[in-house]
Amino acid sequence: MRRLVLVAQYKKVKGTLDLLPNECHEWHEIEAIFARVCRSFAYGEIRIPTFEYTEVFNRGVGETSDIVQKEMYTFADRGGRMLTLRPEATAGVVRAFVENGLFNEALPQRLYYEISAFRAENVQKGRYREFHQLGLECLGSQASQTDVEIIALIKQFFQEVGLKNVSLKLNSLGSTESRKVYHARLLDYLKPHVADLCFDCQNRIEKNPLRVLDCKVPTCKEIVQGAPLILDCLTDEDKTRWQQVLHGLDNLGISYEINPRIVRGLDYYCHTVFEFILDNQTTGQASTVCGGGRYDGLVKLLGGPDLPGMGFSIGLERLHLALKEQNRDFKQFRPCLYVVAQAEAEREMAAKLIWTLRQKGIVAEQDVDNRSFKAQMKYLNKRNYRYCLVLGETELANNSAKLKDLDTGKELETEFSLQDLSQLEAVLLAD
């Protein structure tokens, strides 16, 4: 068969992605598993605006972060107000938590989300300028057990979705008191190397030297190898809390590796921070598929009471790509029943039959373009239907029809009533 080939006049913007029906079906499967796991941990879904006032992200994400400095899509609306497409979800969720007075409800508030987000960053495999995240926020609990429970939720999700070769790395950034001590030690270490740091790190070093530890520039990465470790600067109270988190993970049998270089890319983190690292068995490369941590000052920073919080996000594109590379067996969408009919009376009967079946949740279709019998058969085979039912004069006269199994090419022995569809429904729903 000859295929029509056209050169597209209009193309998608660089860094965006078209998701076609089969891919959407696979995403829905991932999203459904995530929602089910979150609900099993007593989280409810929250939906937030795609854009916020820019100040929400300047304050909530941190002015020294790469996101705010380089990656946000910011614009003035017709009233001159500065708006930004959300580059992540946490700041927006916390803003909604404060604005809607959820701090007056039972705490902690457990909120999960599925969002699109936008960052003007370099396009790479599995990384886009418009991307999607699965994540959650737990607001109002200081307990170390909350940290453990959130990590356990991610672990359970990855198990249920079928992701393999993923490992947990974690660190503690301690409290404000611990970080003040560490900042001083880190500055003392970095100052002799300032001239060798990249331009961005030279600008960040006074405001937030932790950002230097997260820099991807090779010279900066080499310099920080000898930097002091924040775990050596924790107060006694912070050390106790850190040990409680590790004990909680040990108690659940969740394996982990302590990585004292993890700081995460956002300014609001404190205490426990973590990443789930995916090891690609084919290329030998490792990439972060999930990251998160605690942010006890963010609610207050965005105008709310002084309440703690913790959360994480998972890049959906990267997760889906990893599952495909691991040959994860997704359930492919397959329509159930196609009713072939040509004459007007038969088409009317087909429409009534399909209307009833669709209300039972059965995926069914009939021709709406007055195509020939041959053309209809060609179409339903292309669409990979499971069954077809042909309605002609005989079937209408007898008020019954036979169902054809398109996998075997054979008709089922049973004659199905066109008046009482219960028997037909049972067969189609059982498939």
- Annotated binding site, which residues? 88-90, 119, 133, 137, 264, 268-269
Return the beta strands (E) in 23-164 as ranges: 44-45, 51-53, 74-76, 82-85, 109-118, 130-139
Residues annotated within a binding site for L-histidine: 88-90, 119, 133, 137, 264, 268-269
Give the Cα separation of 134 and 320 in Å (integer).
Answer: 12
What residues have CB less than 8 Å from 3, skipping those under 6 apart? none
What residues have CB less than 8 Å from 41, skipping those under 6 apart? 110, 149, 153
Inter-residue contact 357 to 367 (CB < 8 Å):
no
| Phi, then psi, of 392 in degrees rounded to 5 | -130, -170
Tokens of 360: 């039972």
Inter-residue contact 324 to 310 (CB < 8 Å):
no
Helix ranges restricted to H, 77-143: 90-99
CA distances from 214 to 39, 260, 380, 392 (A): 33, 12, 54, 70
Tokens of 149: 């429970």
HEC readout, 224-271:
HCCCCCHHHHCCHHHHHHHHHHHHHHHHCCCCCEECCCCCCCCCCCEE
